[in-house]
Amino acid sequence: MSHIIPRSHPRAAYRAPIKYAVFNSMQFQSTQTYDVSEGGICYETDRQLKPEDDVCIVMENYAPGRSGLEAYHSYVARVRWTQVLSQNGVVRYAAGAQIVARSHKILATDAQMPIRICDLCNAHVAQHRIVQTATHAQICTHCAKHLEKISSEKVRQCVERFLMGNVI
């Protein structure tokens, strides 16, 4: 049984030329968008991307000062889903990605992103890979997955209190 997750923002059809690359690969592929929403973008790819892959999307029709996607030169987006498209016997994919950062510069590597320190493991990670807990602790996505796996709510609260320095 699959769960349908409702969309946070409505989609609008939007065709625009873009280039995309899996984050840190610098191997850009030319393609086009299908639609956009306030929090995401759907675009065509030549290969199936995995959910949670981070991609850099570069707008080929960059026009600062305008509204819409072309107002920024690049976006960092996290793939949420992919779907097979079959066009004239050629297998392509549609990828839906959540926008996590936007810039007037091309953000293609973690080194170009603002850095934060994970409160749990002390790793230096790009800001878009930091999750804020209910107690406002800032942890990396890796630690967040481990924290979510803790079945006891009381233990999870104790870990979060420890992170905030409230261990009395």
The full set of domain ranges for the chain reads 12-109, 115-163
**Predicted local confidence at residue 85, as pLDDT:** 86
- The pTM (predicted TM-score) of the whole model is 0.63
Q: Which fold has domain 12-109?
A: Thrombin, subunit H (2.40.10)
Instruction: Reply yes or no on whether the pLDDT at 135 is more than 80.
Output: no
**Predicted local confidence at residue 64, as pLDDT:** 82
Instruction: Reply yes or no on whether the pLDDT at 79 is more than 90.
Output: yes
Q: Are 143 and 149 in contact (CB under 8 A)?
A: no
| Least confident range of 3-12, 112-121, 136-145, 156-165 | 3-12
Q: How confident is the model at residue 1 (pLDDT cuts 50, 70, 90)?
A: very low
Distance between CA atoms of residues 58 and 107, nearest Å: 9
| Least confident range of 54-58, 93-97, 110-114 | 110-114
Q: Strands, E, within the chain: which ranges?
A: 12-13, 17-22, 29-36, 40-45, 54-59, 74-87, 90-103, 115-117, 124-126, 130-132, 138-140
> Which pair of structure tokens corresponds to residue 71?
């107002």
Distance between CA atoms of residues 116 and 129, nearest Å: 9
Q: Hey, which residues does 78 pair with through a beta bridge?
A: 54, 98
**Predicted local confidence at residue 111, as pLDDT:** 54
What is the per-residue DSSP string for 118-165?
A: -TTT--EEEGGGEEE-TT--EEEHHHHHHHHH---HHHHHHHHHHHTT
Q: Are 37 and 9 in contact (CB under 8 A)?
A: yes
Lookup result for tokens 């409505």? 10
Span 6-65, pLDDT tens digits:
666 778 888 999 999 887 777 888 999 999 988 899 999 988 899 888 899 999 988 887
